[in-house]
Chain A
Amino acid sequence: MRPFQPGDPIGPLVKPPVTKTQLVMYSGASGDFNPIHTVDEYAKEAGLGGVIAHGMLTMAFVGQMMTDTIGVEGDLRTFGIRFTGMVRPGDIITCEGKVTEIRIEGKKQAVSCEVWASTQNGDKVAIGRAKYTVPLK
């Protein structure tokens, strides 16, 4: 693999449609049992029009894109996300990113990038940054 360069795309990672079963699984796996993610009636009463996905599920998708990109030889150093929209069952989330800066740290490349996630309608639901190191070969 050639070294990363500024402007390089990261991803895309296109996830299968979010399902209500997935939201139940994520609630169980994460311990976040807020019913706005699992109980439609509750979410409607809260004014959300139905259940919405955990923001952290979307962040986990972006995290998967990062670890897929970095591989087992690299290390994720920082990872930050701002949640900018709601994700609902049926939504197809695409994670993408772009390398913004490269620095050399000894025998490693330290790579900074912008990352984001959007729905099939093009609405951005998460925007953030990450920094990782990978060995220089």
Chain B
Amino acid sequence: MNLSQFQAFVGVESTPVKNEVEKGAIRKFADAIGDSNPIYRDEEYAKKTRYGKIIAPPTFSRTFDYGELPGFSVKRDGLIHGEQHFEYFRPIYAGEVLYCSTRLADVYEKKGKLGRMIFLVYEQKGTDEEGKTVFIAWSNVIYRAQEGGFRP
């Protein structure tokens, strides 16, 4: 895809996907990143905190299913994760249900070390069952030209 083909998808959003926040998934994630904090795995400990429940680590929301942008497909091989930002409105709790969606928020082109590159900005959102936003995340992804793909 070239710049204008990408730009045609700016503003396109996925249908929200229901995600169940499993305590086992939180523990596995905490194990993988080597964080032994009991708030991610010990229910008895968590009960005594102001949360009352196991919560998820700050970057755990990356594990959710956000759905697909209709009609949009880009080869993941050519993508480089450039930046990641989170805004948190409250913690994510084990056992709750979140509805997660993604939107292509922006597409732009920049000259970098490797020539011209296309930047894709995705905005991802998690909403609880009451319709309240729990977090918003922005991923800035760099699209590298592939053979037969985009050429500057």
CB atoms of B85 and A78 under 8 A apart: yes
Q: Of all chain A residues, which has the CB nearest B40?
A: A67
Q: Do B88 and A76 touch (CB < 8 A)?
A: yes
Q: Please tell me if the beta carbons of B49 and A34 are within 8 angstroms of each other in the complex.
A: no
Interface assignment of A4: CB less than 8 Å from any CB of chain B: no
| B-side contacts of A31, CB under 8 Å | 63
> Quick check: B88 and A29 within 8 Å, CB to CB?
no
B57:A60 contact, CB within 8 angstroms: yes
User: CB distance B49 to A79 under 8 Å?
Assistant: no
Question: B37 an interface residue at 8 Å Cβ cutoff?
Answer: yes
Instruction: Give residues of chain B (65-104) contacting chain A, Cβ–Cβ below 8 Å.
Output: 76-77, 81-88, 90-91
- B contacts with A: majority SS: mixed
Q: Is A16 an interface residue (CB 8 A)?
A: yes
Contact of A39 with B by CB under 8 A: no
What B residues does A87 contact at CB under 8 A?
Answer: none
Interface bracket on B: 20 to 34
- What's the Cα separation between A57 and B63 when bound, in Å? 12
Encode B39-64 as 1/0 by CB contact (under 8 A) with A.
10000000001110000011100110
* Contact (Cβ within 8 A) B57 A64: yes
Residues of chain B within 8 A of A136, CB atoms compared: none
A122 at the B interface (CB under 8 A): no
**Among B29, B77, B83, which residue has its beta carbon within 8 angstroms of that of A83?**
B83
| Chain B interface (Cβ < 8 Å from any Cβ of A) | 25, 28-29, 31-35, 37, 39, 49-51, 57-59, 62-63, 76-77, 81-88, 90-91
A-B contact pairs, 25 of them (CB 8 A): A22-B32, A26-B32, A29-B33, A30-B29, A30-B32, A31-B63, A32-B62, A34-B77, A46-B77, A59-B59, A61-B33, A63-B57, A63-B59, A64-B33, A67-B57, A75-B91, A77-B87, A78-B86, A78-B88, A79-B59, A79-B85, A80-B84, A81-B83, A82-B82, A83-B81
Contacts A32-B62, A56-B81, A80-B86 known; 8 new A-B pairs at CB < 8 A: A22-B32, A25-B32, A57-B33, A60-B58, A75-B88, A77-B88, A80-B83, A81-B85
